[in-house]
Structure 1
């Protein structure tokens, strides 16, 4: 290859980097602000701050930054899902006991499909119901982001779903401890119920804290066990979409998205025990950074007028899904006996 040919081969990459740089810088700034606000108010997730901040500054983002923000939204979401697998090893799941694991599976499946059905009844779009069902039944904003990667939903729907999971998850921080005391749940059972009922990991920690450290530890493991179901859920939706697209278009989504396989691979590596604890801590931070940058980019493409149009119907769906998750979780734990 001549020098001229080599230069021509490198030029597109250089041009692409220059085209993406403004958006990536804006995403980095938004992520930094989101983390700063999270440090000031730890109860508010950095992911929540990121998407809300993106919505607020959407009108001020220059056109030159749009390509980079779109790139960050797509690529960082998928990489974040891959690294999410490092947060849970299969050994921790097995230590929960068959009853609790069964309760996790039943709760996730019933609340997921129940939310989709409720979405039809309250009149929200199919895509919106799917995102809310995913976020509320599995792991909040991270799950919504992962599902969006295979459904390519409207940005307004994704932002609304993240807002709803934040709103109702925050309410659960106060309501779940009160309900736990009213039901007379001990620390172990309360931790299981909180881990099954509350949406985001940070919200789970806050909700379980009044019952003590043992309850928090149990709640986090149960919560992360729900995360394991993210891979088969996203893969299942991808397969369904692939079949439907096969009948109407030449291009179909992949049978199982590569980032889902990556998630399973990192979970297997974590389960092997070869990854040092400092590396696991670092990957947890990097995962949150990637999701925050992606959600900021997502929010920057939202128009508030379109977001508000889902208003009361979205709020109704969020309320139904929250109650459904809590009731199914309590019922299944009671029937299976938990751990």
Structure 2
């Protein structure tokens, strides 16, 4: 009996120590992503980096830290927590950015433009990726990042299609670079485009990747251009939900074939937080929330997503990028060029 008691106590002590170790790993990992997000928040205040946005800078800082310091086994649990759970919380709160009435008030033309942009971009890029034999998961992430709303769309759809972390990071990095180049290109070309402020806003909002890229590129056109660009861009964000559901069902069919499963919430091919995103959008649309509260929650959303991006960057090895080659980047470049070329055609719909 005495021996049994001693064994039981040893097992209990080991369990307590294990919990303590895991607890420290959670704290270290979460603190590391917090610090990287805070550093990114300072960097984004600089003129050039403001175009990239805090989320893009956060993932790059995470990748740089991982490249210099190596893997962080003592912080793994916390890093995973940030890149998984804080990501979901950030996406849910991001729904407050959408006031659905503003989008509908802007007219069906804007929604039509957004639908054409997303349909055209996804068709061109996924078709091109198939032709070049790019991994379907990676190709889809780059396509949705270009078509909808950059990093936020990529991480949301990555959860839907169960993509590898290195694919998610590569897609985000590709979109970050191309979107920044695109924003700078529009700013430079604005005087030569001979477009009125409204048309320029539609062009920017319908063809650039990240919201940060859209905001930066719309500035030369003035207040009308900026407001129009944001509304057009948010229309694309709103379409993230039906697109994610559609992609989820397609990948579900590809992955499961003819196997039938009982229908349940767990078996839905779209993660629950997408519906949380929609719920927040509806809340902001139909219930008058204090402006200060909405702005505060949106800032929290951006910061949680930045911590998640930092966690994602910390989980990546640069050797992973060598495995995929240059073809995915080529798909991203051609896709963006095709979307930019579509811009003048889209403007015909508003004239």
TM-score, structure 2 length as denominator?
0.87
Report the equivalent of 2:243.
233
Task: Kindly indicate whether residue 38 of structure 2 is the aligned counterpart of residue 32 of structure 1.
Answer: yes
C-alpha distance in 2, partners of 1:91/1:206? Answer: 24
1:143-194 deviations in whole A, cap 9, x for unaligned? 1111111122222211111111111111111222455544422110110110
C-alpha distance in 1, partners of 2:54/2:245? Answer: 27
Pairwise CA RMSD:
2.5
1:73-112 deviations in whole A, cap 9, x for unaligned? 1112221211111001111101222212111111111112
Report the equivalent of 2:226.
216
Q: Which has the larger radius of gyration?
A: 2
Task: Kindly indicate whether residue 55 of structure 2 is the aligned counterpart of residue 42 of structure 1.
Answer: no
Q: Report the Cα offset of residue 122 of structure 1.
A: 3.0
C-alpha distance in 2, partners of 1:35/1:107? Answer: 31
Report the equivalent of 1:123.
133
C-alpha distance in 2, partners of 1:248/1:189? Answer: 48
Q: Report the Cα offset of residue 235 of structure 1.
A: 1.5
C-alpha distance in 2, partners of 1:183/1:250? Answer: 54
Report the equivalent of 1:4.
none
Q: Which consecutive unaligned segments of at least 5 residues does structure 2 have?
A: 1-11
- Say if 1:238 and 1:253, in contact at 8 Å, map to a contact too: no
Q: Report the Cα offset of residue 43 of structure 1.
A: 2.7
- Say if 2:22 and 2:77, in contact at 8 Å, map to a contact too: no
C-alpha distance in 2, partners of 1:14/1:248? Answer: 45
Report the equivalent of 2:74.
64
Task: Kindly indicate whether residue 343 of structure 2 is the aligned counterpart of residue 337 of structure 1.
Answer: no
- Say if 1:196 and 1:222, in contact at 8 Å, map to a contact too: yes
Q: Which consecutive unaligned segments of at least 5 residues does structure 1 have?
A: 1-6
